[in-house]
Amino acid sequence: MMKQTIRDIREFAAKRVLVRVDFNVPLSRQDNSITDNSRIRESLPTIQYLINRKAKVIICSHLGRPDGKVVEKLKMLPIAKELANLIHLPVKTVNDCIGSKVTSMVDSLKAGEILVLENLRFHAEEEANDPAFAQKLAQLADIYVDDAFGTAHRAHASTEGVAHYLPAYAGFLMEKELNSLGHILATPRHPFAALLGGAKASDKINLIKNILDKVDMVLIGGGMAATFLKNQGCEVGRSLIEPDKIDLAHQLVVTAQQNNIAFLFPVDVMVSDRIDVCSNLNTVSVNAIPPNAFIVDIGTETIELFSQQLKTCQTIFWNGPMGIYEVPEFSHGTREMMQLIASRNMATTVIGGGSTAEIAQEMGLVNKLTHVSTGGGASLQFLEGEKLPGVEVLLNKDLIGGVEKI
């Protein structure tokens, strides 16, 4: 990784360090409790490192989509309490992220103490990347650390703007994400497979374009398979297709064939009369999809086909479920793929964030995988070959104290 990390900072003692984390954790609709604390746990190494070196740690994050307004159920207090439980230290809170009260709280911090600021998105200026707002955040600290890979693809005030006013370094989670994802682009072990699913082909077209010269096979499942199957001449019932992407899908398949890259689609699928609940569920060949049915999962033959191919691979990247995972009867293909990939303990197995990462967490298989990304959109954009604003502003390895070596 060509960015400086917190290891490159020589002195922390009594320094105020603004740490951007991604504590946008899922909350229960029933009681607003945290249902998955993995994003908090992933940033603990960075926070602990700073505390051990007597820094004054100022944590900032967004939570949900409050659209520039104060929303009671999206306040950071429960997040701060969870952080305190996990790190076994007191964690202070304040009811805003800028202003005189926040400044006073920061000024009162002692070395090794932690303060969690209020939800950044309670201010519309955060998502607008307002320079004045970014400068107010920067005035709270001496050093900026970005450990929020999940928001690195957004040019917001706390992810991009603040780095124009403070020396900016990567935290350990950011470093891990960039190294893990960068590795499969630069030096993957072969055979290398990309297993791609999710709702829409348009979400993955640019990813496929960028990795097609790096992989040995592409396996397509999920709702996006309908667009590719339509290109193959299959009728797909009432499944969503993207007509404007059919030609692009065709071009990708042709390019893969010309370069001896296997491009595999489902050979059978599970279909249902409805997508929100199980109704008249059947497994059919892709050549026999009923006109009034929806594709809701891959079928048993496809599971076997994909499994046999993945068992031969030394590197596997997966993003996007194989079916409508939220409906239990439509989750079988996704679960089978996750179990299979998690069993490949001699292979490099990378999950590209988003719902696929949540499934790995739910199934308790994260520790069986090489890397589970904390950023769905960020990981896709990175693997598409696009620059991430939150990464671009960090100090490069050939910079010392913000001054380029000559």
Burial state string for 68-89 with b = 16 or more CB within 10 A and e = fewer than 16: eeeeeebbbebbbebbbeebee
Gyration radius (Cα) of the chain, Å: 23
Cα-Cα-Cα-Cα dihedral sign, residues 371, 375, 377, 379: negative
DSSP string, 41-63: HHTHHHHHHHHHTT-EEEEE---
Separation between Cα atoms, residue 285 and residue 237, nearest integer Å: 12
CB 376 within 8 A of CB 319: yes
Beta-sheet pairing, 294-298 with 282-285:
unpaired
Angle, alpha carbons 398-401-402 (nearest 5°) = 70
First-to-last C-alpha distance (Å) of the chain: 21
CB 135 within 8 A of CB 7: no
Residues 117, 121, 124, 128, Cα dihedral to 10°:
100
Angle, alpha carbons 331-351-302 (nearest 5°) = 45
Residue corresponding to tokens 């006073």: 104
- Tell me the β-bridge partners of 53: none
Distances (CA, A) of 225 to 127, 197, 203: 33, 7, 12
- Point out the residues that are catalytic: 39, 200, 354, 377
Q: Provide CB contacts within 8 A for 326, sequence distance 6+.
A: none
